Amino acid sequence: MGQTVSCESEDELEACVYRSPSPVDGPDRPSECRLLAQILSLPSTQCPVTPAMCRLCREHTGTRLFAEHPLFPSLAYQRASEQLVEATTPSEQEHWEAWQERAEAALLRQCDSLPSTSHPHCACDVVLCVSVDSESLRESIDSILEQQEVSPILHLVETGAESIDWGELTGRWNVQIHRLPGEKSPLNAAEQIAATLRTPYLAVQHPLCPTLPQPALATRPVDPHAARSGGGVIRWQPGRRGLVGQS
């Protein structure tokens, strides 16, 4: 449902010294954030923000640190990831890797501090092996990223002969993409990408079966075979096969 923005609210946005007016007319016209550009050492043209982002930022900037800010860590991670791909020198690569790690750490801390209504809020690595792109696959991916009361870190493992164009997914802080052509077993894939797993928990997602919108880390016993079929969560310990404890 649309929301009408008052003239007073618009005037407050225009008063921001870091905001460059947009040449495009319209209520949702993007502007350029010179503060984000200064933080990341980027041209302001590479830091577009919407009015909604500006209003959220205005409520918090000046009273919160970067790690606690509701907007900057996410934007910084996306921009750092984009710039890291284009880095041509070791110093540039080091600069953007540092910013990527800082932003990711801030996002993970924020996820860990979110309130929970019925289950403890946790983070969980999710492995999804995929050979070809499809609409069902995208629905399966969305179902993981939209989970409630858990912070999924999705590992998309490409097992086909050709790479997949993941579009905007490549810029998300909690999505990692791996290439393991020919791999059939999600747990074998997890062994091979163990160095990139970030939590004690591991879930396996089926590429054609969306997950219901409920906490992925249910407080119930886990069937050792469930992880192989995409239905369970296991406590993961690199170097050991399968279950090493129940979630």
> What does the pLDDT profile of the chain (247 residues) look like in tens digits?
333 334 445 556 666 768 887 665 556 678 888 888 888 888 988 888 888 888 888 777 654 557 777 677 777 877 887 888 888 999 999 999 888 888 888 877 776 665 544 444 567 888 889 988 888 888 888 888 887 777 888 999 999 988 899 988 887 888 999 999 988 788 888 888 888 888 878 887 777 666 654 433 333 333 333 333 333 444 444 443 332 333 3
Name all domains of the chain by residue range, CATH numbers in brackets: 11-112 (no CATH), 122-235 (3.90.550.10)
Strands of the chain (E only): list them. Answer: 19-20, 31-33, 48-49, 122-130, 150-158, 175-179, 201-204, 233-235
Strands of 159-216 (E only): list them. Answer: 175-179, 201-204
Helix, strand, or coil (residue 80): helix
Q: Give the helix/strand (H/E) hosting 163.
A: none
Alpha-carbon gap, residue 130 to 183, rounded angstroms: 10
Alpha-carbon gap, residue 73 to 53, rounded angstroms: 13
Alpha-carbon gap, residue 159 to 149, rounded angstroms: 30
Give whole-number Cα distances, 141 to 65, 117, 136, 137, 174, in Å.
Answer: 32, 24, 9, 6, 12
Nearest to 206 by CA among 181, 231, 183, 225: 231
